[in-house]
Structure 1
Amino acid sequence: MPPVTDGDTLLLHFTSTRPDGEVFEDTRSGEPVRVTLGANQINPLFEEALMGRVPGETVTVVLPPEKAYGKFNRKLVVTVKRTKLTLDHEPVVGEFVRVEVMGKPCLVTVLDVDEKRITVDANHPLAGETITYAITVEEILPRDG
């Protein structure tokens, strides 16, 4: 079987793991993910790692924060007066809520709640973490035409 080349459409399974070993995403219990290399559908570092692989082969890619979900930015942790927010329920620490930041809707994590203020974090929940991906080539689909 020929190896993976640019432009191939692949069926992939992958497992995403945090530095402590916690798996936070695993496609193996469902259908494989379909991606076409060169179509900006996956991280370019994944594409590079998949080149030359064959079906059944697994490659491990370790992404530092700046190549994964970004570095943690303390400026994105803010305390907001409740009067500035329009929430349809009482926020709970740890939940995600949609708020408006500089006129744009933003999904944030609630860090702290009191009667006057809410502290939220607009960083991605995995910001600042090095993430390990184990990607398995399940199949190289035939090219059209």
Structure 2
Amino acid sequence: MAQEIKTQWEGQMLFNADTLGGNFKIDAAEESGGQGKGVRPKALMLTSLAGCTGMDIVSLLKKMRAEVDDLDINVSGELTEKHPKIYNKVTLEYVFYGEDLKKDKIEKAIQLSAEKYCGVMEMFKQFAEITTVVSYKAKKSS
């Protein structure tokens, strides 16, 4: 199944991206000739990873009847020194919130996402070492 997005150049380093779910701006930082009016391309890759695994996990937890109150996914990536600079190390930090969390089911959902369902993670595995960190909290602080 082919998927298609369209981008339109809006001057300097700014592009508008029309995607399957909406549109947004992509831009470079000012020090790289951009205006800082949009997300950076490499940051979008990390965002895609978080979104893909997050959607897997919440769907799996619902099916497992192990829902959580909230979930934060923080992703950090380390870039290589030489061009083309690519992510060679990525850390996914999952923070689950709720009372009486079913940690065994949560960890199973993370494993299933990483090993079976998340296509973005599978792509990242081709070029980066992925580390996963999981923590549990009763409540999200305001």
* TM-score (normalised: structure 2): 0.22
Quick one: higher RCO (CA 8 Å, sep 6+), 1 or 2? Answer: 1
Q: Give TM-score, length-normalised by structure 1.
A: 0.22
In terms of fraction of residues, the more strand-rich structure is: 1
